[in-house]
Amino acid sequence: MSAEPSPRSRPTTVIVCINVLPLIFTLDEARPMGCPWRIEWSTSSYGLFLRNIVSAQRYEPLFVGCPEVYIPRKDEAAVRQVLRQQFHCIPVFLDPDTAHRHYQGFCKGVLWPIFHNVIDVYNSAELKLDDCPSNDEGETYMKPPTSPPASSASMWQAPASWNPASQDKCWNEYCQVNRHFAKKVIENWEAGSIIWIHDFPLLVLASYLLRKLHGGSIAIFMHVPFPSSEIFRTLAVRTEILRAMLCANHIGFLVFEHARHFLTACKRLLGLNYKTSHNGMLTVEYNGRLVLITCSHCGTELHRMGELMARLEVDAMATSFQAKLAPHAAGRFVLTAVDRLEGLCGIPLKLRALDRFLAMYPSRRSEIVLLQAGISIDSRPNDYNQTKRYVESFVEEINRRWGTPDRPVVVYHEFAKMHSLQRMVVWKMGHVFLDTCVRGGLSMLPFEFLSAHHHAFEASDESESANLGVLVASEFASYARILNGALLVNPWKTDDVVSAIVKAMEMQFQETRSRFLLNYNFLLDNPVSEWGTRMLADIESAGEPSTAHGSTGEFMEIGFGFDYRVMQFTPGFVALNADEVLRSYIKATKRLLLLDYGGTLSWTSCLMDDEASMYQFNRNHASGPCVPALRKTDGQVRTPLTYEGRLSLESLAMDPRNVVVVWSNACRAELEHEFGSMTDVTLVADNGYFLRKAGAIEWESLYADVPDDLLWKDRVAAIIKTYVSRTNGSFVAIGDASVMYDYRNCDPEYGEMQASELFDQLTELLKKEKTAVVRGKGFVEVHRFGVNKAVAASMLLNYCKEQVSMPDFVLVVGDDESDEQAYRTVRSFAEASTKDAPACYTVTVGKKPSLANFYLDSVTEVLGLIESMAAIRNLVKRRASSPELDALHADPNLGFQANFRLGSNLISPTYVRHVSREFNKTFASRTLTRRCPTTTTMKKTKQQHVLSSSSGLTSPLEWDLPVWAQVLSGVAIGAAIGWTMRNQWRRHSP
């Protein structure tokens, strides 16, 4: 039997989604039968690009797009069959009104100017030629505006310009067209296919596709620039577009400048950061998924350009056009240009520069000519009419000033469509490719110009008279970043363009050849087909599911509309089953509940919200000073605990089988204000620096038995206040044992710059202090060395093991990054218990990537779970069915909580002294700034478990590393506790 074919035995289908198919439709009713439309491939530069981006060797293209013309409903079936069988195309048929509002209304009326960073090009001021004396006096003649011809841009209604301010009127049609595309893609998608979406008309398509195709490779490639964040934020649907784009696995841009603007918009509008990966791509973590960002520009197919050049001498259209232009170019230095008649292409700026050149160099007026082709557009009539008026009036005036009727200095032709052979005729005649665009995206024209001259380059060693061509390109064009041999100009600085023309005319052959070689090498290395293959390989790799932690994850659908998104989680992350938790809760007799405060037991509000101000400051019952209810790590304030939630928490804490711990990064005063009346609740403040056992009055300090000089707080606060005064939107939060600089509401880039400088300054200032400088998302915090929730969790578990007994039920509920450190610590402790392992539930609030095993959707669900547990206590108390339970309720001193209270201090001085010794040892070896982990051994005492070097524990110094290192330390702590507990059980087991 033959072996099974490899996965690459048949080409992978690539579904290329484009707004308009690269086809030309001509109605031919005289055809005898079948389809009444004659269809052929487009010869535009864009059409040639699309035909070659998918290599036929490894991939099979399938184009999905709209026909360029309106197809009557009676012809749709015949056209669909021809397109599928002969052109590998799937048509998307639209009604005229929808197509008009989608493309002219939203794409060209709203997105086009915004994505090019230009909303008003020429309307704000009248553009004029320089005042210049001439032989004949006369006024500049301007033709009245004319309507553009009906062309092929899939516009079936009369062209109309749209006001960007009315963008909401066409947004529904924009989404509707994207849904039509999604339907066609899904109908033709099969497992393993790649979906490649092209350009801005289909930006939200990925969102619709991801709702149905979770395992597919979806990519977007932008042909136009991406605007700066300040321009992009003027869009009413800015976040919807960003979220929809991030539903793709891969987003491609032409150059990094465009990608940088996109990444900045993601940071400013969505709060997302990016980083570089090992393979040179950028990655954005969005909802647990890694979205890859690449920057790559393509060239053109030299062999196809060679085929076109070979046809110039035999094709009737080419020879006719060449004969028409030859008399004007004979014996002259030829500047060539092909541009769309729109303001962004900058044709008036080009003509203005030529006019100044002719005025400055009279001797060269008979030596130079500009062959300018203008392509009509019908998608932006106002822009087209105004640009056309400028161009025609400038051409007429320049020829009147400097040319003659039979020898004009500007030869201008306007085309509704310009055939590729006509373009090659122009390029072959030209000595200079002149581009003065104001803002440019993907353009294949300079590569066509280079291809037209490559035969002359091959013969240039023998003849210095060979015309190799020179590129004079606008620095705002995308290709200017990759064609290093071009002369770059600022089109707004007319003298720059004039100097470039002069330099091109006077350039020595060797320099011309060297510049051509720089550009030509890019063509050789980046033909469209090879570029497309590389891009598709990246897209395939991006489609392989992986979480931000590097492991394969599971998908979960969240939200509706454009808030819909697919999150990717680590395996096993599921919604908490309340019934399962309650069953385990009922069976257990020694329960440990670790509950976060803000965002878990109470709601939080942003400082910028209107309702936040009423909760920012609370006065305690003794009429003492106001207590700031500031949530340090995210710039939010906590709402008071609800009355029902307070009753449920009190009821839970009164259960003799429960030990309830509320921990927070808040200060002691705030926790006392909110939970001071609950004497059965253990409180942990400042992320574990202060602890107060249930029933106690005094707080325990982590460093009570170790000299703890907090004089550093004043110095740190003074420095941070200086940064606050210079950074709008930032503030300082001073806790009992910490000082924090919060810049969440600042300008993202400026805030990061200030935070980076502050972090370095504080690290240097405090290098001899027993402190840790921690930088997180939106904050820089300084606190005592070895303080975080992972350490607090390990202390509580160690206290239970040594002085009480090991719990058989552990519930940890949190909501933010500081809680992540404790999840794995507690879970590792449970997993290390080989005998009678406790039921352990680590829960985060909200569906988000987390190290917890479970999630609850909101604070309401957390309070509901607590209320259910409290109700069970009352029910079980009434239905006690065993002597043990009867005795327990009769005498609460027999319970787990009573034993917890009877123990000594929660904080072991021996443990704290060990942490201090680790600090001194590391500081003495001058490794503090490097945060090098060390392995040590502690002596075994009655109050402290053994931390053996053989257990693989790392130094407590790692507790002050970034979050991932803190988590690993938490794992080690939990493993050590579990290991010790297992050994003790083995020694005491019969």
Angstrom distance (rounded) from CA 764 to CA 781: 14
What is the arithmetic mean of pLDDT over 327-343?
Answer: 94
- Each residue's pLDDT tens digit, 384-441: 999 999 999 999 999 999 999 889 999 999 999 899 999 999 999 999 999 999 999 9
- Each residue's pLDDT tens digit, 9-23: 578 899 999 999 999
Q: Given this chain, do its domains 12-96+165-295 and 712-784 carry the same CATH topology?
A: no
Angstrom distance (rounded) from CA 286 to CA 247: 9
What pLDDT, on the 0 to 100 scale, is given for residue 310? Answer: 87
What pLDDT, on the 0 to 100 scale, is given for residue 930? Answer: 36
Collapse the DSSP code of 936 into the 3-class scheme (helix H, G, I; strand E, B; otherwise coil) and give the result.
coil
The answer regarding whether domain 574-602+641-702+787-907 maps to CATH 3.30.70.1140 reads no
- Each residue's pLDDT tens digit, 543-601: 765 544 444 455 566 665 666 666 666 666 788 899 999 999 998 989 999 999 888 88
> Given 3-state DSSP classes, what are the helix, strand and coil percentages for the chain, each rounded to the nearest 5?
45, 20, 40
What pLDDT, on the 0 to 100 scale, is given for residue 598? Answer: 84
Angstrom distance (rounded) from CA 521 to CA 544: 33
What pLDDT, on the 0 to 100 scale, is given for residue 625? Answer: 37
Q: In CATH, which of 3.20.20.140, 3.40.50.10240, 3.40.50.2000, 3.30.230.10 is domain 302-526?
A: 3.40.50.2000
pLDDT at residue 633 tops 60: no
The kind and range of the H/E element at 394 are helix 381-402
pLDDT at residue 167 tops 80: no
Please, which pLDDT band fits residue 185 given cuts at 50, 70 and 90?
Answer: very high
What pLDDT, on the 0 to 100 scale, is given for residue 986? Answer: 47
What pLDDT, on the 0 to 100 scale, is given for residue 754? Answer: 92
What is the arithmetic mean of pLDDT over 61-74?
Answer: 92
Domain ranges of the chain: 12-96+165-295, 302-526, 574-602+641-702+787-907, 712-784
pLDDT at residue 637 tops 80: no
What pLDDT, on the 0 to 100 scale, is given for residue 705? Answer: 60
Fold of 712-784: Alpha-Beta Plaits (3.30.70)
Angstrom distance (rounded) from CA 501 to CA 420: 26
Q: Which residues contact 554 (CB under 8 A, 6 or more apart)?
A: 568, 569, 570, 571, 573
Name beta bridge partners: 841.
Answer: 811
Amino acid at 599: G
The answer regarding whether domain 12-96+165-295 maps to CATH 3.40.50.2000 reads yes
**Mean pLDDT for the chain?**
79
- Each residue's pLDDT tens digit, 837-852: 788 999 999 877 788 8
CA distances from 655 to 682, 871, 892 (A): 13, 11, 8
What pLDDT, on the 0 to 100 scale, is given for residue 904? Answer: 80
Give the pTM. 0.74
